[in-house]
Structure 1
Amino acid sequence: MFRLALTILALFLISNYTLQAQSPVIADGTELNLVSDQFSFTEGPAADSEGNVYFTDQPNNDIWIYTIDGELNKFMDESGRSNGLYFAENGDLLACADAKNELWSISPHMVVEVLVDGYEGKRLNGPNDLWPDPSGGIYFTDPYYQREYWDHTEKEIEEERVYYLSPDREDLIIVDDDLVQPNGIIGSPDGNTLYVADIGDGKTYSYTIHEDGTLSNKTLFTEMGSDGVTLDEQGNLYLTGDGVTVFNQEGEQIEHISVPQNWTANVTFGGTNNQTLFITASTAVYTLEMKVKGAS
């Protein structure tokens, strides 16, 4: 009887450990998959309506596509040193074009429209990441990272801000200028909540979004900054830097994904079912199958 009791207890402990070891977000039994490590520095992953993922190789001035069929193709060179990307509802690719500190819209045929080239006559610091809201307006971060290909070495705008471009593209407004170095940005699919990672201050904030694009209720979400960010369908927030760290809606860490690179820059969901996590990390890009889908 004593041995039976010990056996039952051991089985219970093993079973309990297995349950605890299972990730709340990563598909059981899956492993990080290296797509390619042929790049200089990867950034800005964004999925189109079919699940193909576009990303930038920023130092080489290229935008690439990783298709739902597993093919890796170059989409565009001379891409304005694009960094962060996101797809608009009409299928155009929105890009933070760092070469001349601009915000671009790129058609499927690679026709470029410059949406923003400055603020009140001054050059932007360098649009870095962006998120279009459901109404068609665009939020973007504008930190300052000195680039070797720039002719200038000083800011024209001292503050490193978050801006909002109105849906009609007529008005550009400041929505937060009280940040050290805003970087990653993402909003909830319902358009009610915006998340901004202040990588310079090691913090990430949430905001309430209003109909006119302004923000209120700035709230500390977690004491961790991030380069890029994304959301899943459960409202979990994914932050990058040292791999990928996942937080639930209460700001509690629920997962950490180790990535074998010095820096993990950005992350998004893609694939045919919007259930593949696509990770840009230094010279490489990776995929990871998930239990959850990306927010959409």
Structure 2
Amino acid sequence: MKTLAPLLAALSLAAAPAAFAQSAASGAVQVAQATPPAPAANDSGPAVTPAIPGVVAAGTRIELIKEGFNGTEGPTSLPDGSLIFTETNAARITRIAADGGTSTFLGDSNGANGLALRPDGELYAVQVHQTRVGIVHPPEKRRTLADQFEGKGFGRPNDLVVDKAGVVYFTDSGPNLRPGESLPANINPPAVYRIGGDGKLSRIASGIERPNGIQLSPDEKTLYVANTNGEHILAFDIRADGSLGPARNFARLDGFRRNEQGTGSSGADGLAVDAEGRLYVASNPGIQVFSPSGAPLGTIALPRQPQNLAFAGPGKNTLYVVGRGAAYRIATLTAGYAGRNK
């Protein structure tokens, strides 16, 4: 397809990224908080999966592709079967080839975090250095879609998903604040936003402590949102006018805990769906898998706590997981939803 040519041309870049130590990414309001490393999900056990019927066979190897990345987020599959993800702290997008080799896909991403690829080859990204949502590739189409709402900036845009009609849904988790620190007056509180096909930006959900991962059901009738500080994955019915119905608790997450200050955390982060409509959640214990009705199916523990995930490879039957500076992949019994690059 000609429209994919600029995107696929970038795949020839072969500059392998150097290893970096983990560091905190700067936010728009310059109040970045140093966060201690999250505990590993499976540091002591063997790196293999449990049996989850229809998802993974027991004892499937969890392959470490590489570690030492400078932030790991936003995995997205490409048409050739490879995968890209963001090294947010390094303002770089990295590609993983089918053979596991890595190279720089885009070297100036403005701190891209979540990614979404459109069929026409346009790569959308939420960006945290200068907080905004926009198109970052190909170069001639690079532009900002939204950088403020009602005169106030975003705290820290986190993740996004784009539907078949080109409507963008994204989360803003809010800036990293120290205990007792107030939200700056010029920054919007955490929320979920929608950019319509006409470019109009609207806030469609608020009151969520830490909205993070976001995903659509295969039929695009349900919007899922991960609340990192909450115990449940939230689900919203999408109305005909683009607004959302009331939030409901879709699935309860294992591994929810509270710190000394009483702040809760499930570690709920990136989301993905497979061809059967199952929902995959990166969280404290690992990848938690739920049926389309929200029933728990099982958890895949990894050597490091996962941050995000996507299906890629030939047939989209390999689950790629990134987190805490490392990238992994797992052969599955299912396949990612063909209508989405995730």
TM-score category of the 2 structures, normalised to the smaller one: 0.7 to 0.9
- Write the letter of the residue equivalent to 1:245: Q
Give secondary structure in 2 for the equivalent of 1:268: strand
**Alpha-carbon shift at residue 190 of structure 1 (Å):** 2.1
Do structure 1's residue 249 and structure 2's residue 292 form an aligned pair?
yes
**2:336 pairs with 1:294:** yes
Question: Could you tell me how far 1:23 is from its partner in structure 2?
Answer: 4.0
2:219 pairs with 1:190: yes
* 1:52-201 alignment runs, 5 A limit: 52-109=82-139, 112-146=142-176, 154=184, 156-169=186-199, 171-201=200-230
- What is the aligned counterpart of 1:259 among 282, 295, 302? 302
- 1:282, 1:217 → 2: CA distance? 33
AA of the residue aligned to 1:167: G
Question: Does the 8 Å CA contact 2:218/2:277 hold for their aligned counterparts?
Answer: no
CA spacing shift, 1:88–1:21, aligned 2, 3 Å = closer
Question: Whole-Å Cα distance in 1 between the matches of residues 52 and 190 of structure 2?
Answer: 40
One-letter amino acid of the structure 2 residue matched with residue 248 of structure 1: S
- Distance in 2, matches of 1:131 and 1:213, equals 14
Asked if the contact 1:45–1:85 (Cα under 8 Å) also holds between the matched residues in 2, the reply is yes
Unpaired segments of 5 or more residues in structure 2? Answer: 1-49, 254-266
State whether structure 2 residue 262 is matched by structure 1 residue 232.
no
The number of equivalent residue pairs is 272
Q: Which residue of 1 aligns with 2:15?
A: none
What residue is the counterpart of 1:15 in the other structure? none
Rounded to whole Å, the distance in 1 between the matches of 2:52 and 2:155 is: 43
Tell me how far 1:50 sits from its aligned partner. Answer: 3.0
* Structure 1, unpaired ranges of 5+: 1-19
Q: Which piece of structure 1 moves more, 208-217 or 29-38?
A: 208-217
Mean alpha-carbon deviation: is it higher for 247-256 or for 177-186? 247-256
Secondary structure in structure 2 of the residue aligned to 1:216: coil
Residues 46 and 54, structure 1, Cα contact 8 Å, conserved in 2:
yes
% identical equivalent positions: 31
Change (3 A) 1:295 1:147: farther
1:206 corresponds in structure 2 to 235
**Contact in 1 for aligned 2:153/2:188 (Cα 8 Å):** no
Contact in 1 for aligned 2:149/2:188 (Cα 8 Å): no
SS of 2:89's partner is: helix
Pair member with larger Rg: 1
Give the whole-Å Cα distance in 1 for the aligned partners of 2:164 and 2:198.
13
Indicate conservation of the 8 Å contact 1:134/1:189, yes or no: no
Displacement of 1:237 in angstroms is 0.8
Could you list the per-position Cα deviations for residues 169-208 of structure 1 after superposition, in whole angstroms to 9, with x for gaps in the alignment?
2x10111012111101000232211101111223211111
Tell me: CA distance 1:164–1:52, structure 2 relative to 1, closer, same or farther (3 Å): same
Note the C-alpha offset of 1:215.
1.0
What is the aligned-residue RMSD (CA, Å)? Answer: 2.2
Secondary structure of residue in 1 paired with 2:151: coil
How far is the alpha carbon of 1:59 from its aligned partner? 1.2
The 8 Å contact of residues 134 and 190 in structure 1, kept in 2 or not, is answered as: no
In structure 2, the residue corresponding to 1:273 is in which secondary structure?
helix
Greater strand content: 1
Q: TM-score if structure 1 supplies the norm length?
A: 0.85
Deviation at 1:47, TM superposition (A): 1.1
Query: How far did residue 157 of structure 1 move?
Result: 3.6
Alignment partners' CA distance in 1, 2:106 and 2:177: 21
